[in-house]
Amino acid sequence: MKRRDLILGGAAVATASALPHAARAQSAYKAEYKMSTVVPPMFAWGKGGAIFGDLVRERTGGRINIKQYPGASLVQGQQDREFAAMRQGVIDVLCGAPINWAGTVRELGVFTLPFILPDHKAWDAATTDPGIMSEYFDLVRKAGAEPLAVGETGFRQISNRMRPIRGPADMKGLKIRVVGSPMYGEIMTSMGANPTFMSWADAQPALASGAVDAQENPLEVFLAAKIHTLGQKFVTKWNYSNDILLFAIANPVWNSWTPEDQKIVRGAAQDAARQQIAIVRKLFADDVAAVRALGVEVHVPSAAEMQAWRNATRGAYTKWKDATHPGLVAKIEQVAARAGS
């Protein structure tokens, strides 16, 4: 760099820092930052978004105002469009499950391969492993957002209106609603079920009318959405997939904030994620009893039954390991094995 540029550059910095800090920050800031969540704050993961927004508002003295739009309303309920809409500037803040973005950024689905992280010990080991998380966060950055923290959406369990599901054979012919993740579709197909891809908004009427027989969601969602009132009488707690809840900010928005504010926002997301995980785990601990109390039959598989599920979904696992990020999946497998699962 030439001496003249250095002097000019220096002068520019001096002028900028002569402005009052708040004025400088405020001028580039938007009055409202739009956060998309699929579910509302009555649900544990919508609550994570609400806590995050509140903490940011409090800690920035209102400088950064994050407003939550539940029901994926910024994308007219089409939750599989969230990530693309974030890239287009329609969504500023994500607080969601990467399974919803599988059609846009497939590699973010590494945590949701079937039975890859079978319990909380394995899940915690993987999602707090510095090597895994820095690689994962780099993928998020390249995809267009600054990742801040990771909460937990919860282990997904299958429910249906027809019969108890004790093994892969019971899946045969079942019409099951899944989110727009092709991997989930193939998991179901590999067991002889007929998956239908549908948004959460469409899923509920489809269950109520019997257009689909089955669905899969964390039991906390089953309870909060009162899915038993939609004719779902049988649940199997097979813990087949537990997505992260990713807190992230669209890159251009992130870059418009001062380093001080970036630090505050990151800290707020980490605190919100911690609180959100505690809420999800508390609900998980009591969910079988809570669902049974509604008159729904809950099957908790034996170790042998769990092995049968793993065998039946192995082909889908291998295919999606290759289709997402084989190197990162291998690291997750190693960390999960060390965690003793």
Nearer to ligand X2X among residue 39 and residue 269 (C-beta): 39
Q: Does 187 bind ligand X2X (CB under 6 A)?
A: no
With contacts defined by CB under 6 A, name the span among 28-36, 58-66, 95-103, 253-261 that binds ligand X2X.
Answer: 95-103
Rounded CA-CA distance 127/257 in Å is 27
Min dist. Cβ of residue 124 to ligand X2X (A)? 21
Min dist. Cβ of residue 37 to ligand X2X (A)? 9
Of 44, 86, 93, 97, which one interacts with ligand X2X (CB under 6 A)?
97
Q: Does 241 bind ligand X2X (CB under 6 A)?
A: no
Cα dist. 55→20, 102, 190, 238 in Å? 24, 29, 44, 35
Q: Does 99 bind ligand X2X (CB under 6 A)?
A: yes
With contacts defined by CB under 6 A, name the span among 23-31, 80-88, 97-105, 296-304 that binds ligand X2X.
Answer: 97-105
Nearer to ligand X2X among residue 127 and residue 204 (C-beta): 204
| Helix (H), strand (E) counts: the chain | 14, 10
Report whether 178 contacts 184 (CB < 8 A): yes
Nearer to ligand X2X among residue 99 and residue 193 (C-beta): 99
Min dist. Cβ of residue 179 to ligand X2X (A)? 4
Beta strands of 75-144 (E only): which ranges?
93-96
Tokens of 53: 């927004």
Of 83, 184, 200, 254, which one interacts with ligand X2X (CB under 6 A)?
200
Of 79, 232, 242, 276, which one interacts with ligand X2X (CB under 6 A)?
79
Min dist. Cβ of residue 175 to ligand X2X (A)? 16
Q: What share of the chain is helix, strand, coil (3-state, %, to 5)?
A: 55, 15, 30
Residues contacting ligand X2X: total by CB under 6 A: 10
Pairing mode, if any, of strands 214-218 and 145-160? Answer: antiparallel
Q: Does 179 bind ligand X2X (CB under 6 A)?
A: yes
Helix axes 130-143, 120-127, angle to 10 degrees: 70
Cα dihedral sign, 314-318-324-326: positive
Report whether 215 contacts 176 (CB < 8 A): yes
Q: Does 101 bind ligand X2X (CB under 6 A)?
A: no
Rounded CA-CA distance 49/332 in Å is 26
Which residue's Cβ lies closest to ligand X2X? Answer: 200
Min dist. Cβ of residue 131 to ligand X2X (A)? 27
Nearer to ligand X2X among residue 100 and residue 127 (C-beta): 100
Q: Is 273 left (phi over 0), alpha (psi -120 to 50) or beta?
A: alpha
Nearer to ligand X2X among residue 100 and residue 232 (C-beta): 100
Cα dist. 121→39, 117, 247, 337 in Å? 26, 8, 22, 10
Min dist. Cβ of residue 133 to ligand X2X (A)? 21
Q: Does 39 bind ligand X2X (CB under 6 A)?
A: yes
Beta strands of 5-80 (E only): which ranges?
33-36, 66-69
Nearer to ligand X2X among residue 190 and residue 242 (C-beta): 242
Q: Which residues are near ligand X2X by CB under 6 A?
A: 38-39, 79, 97, 99-100, 179, 200, 217, 221
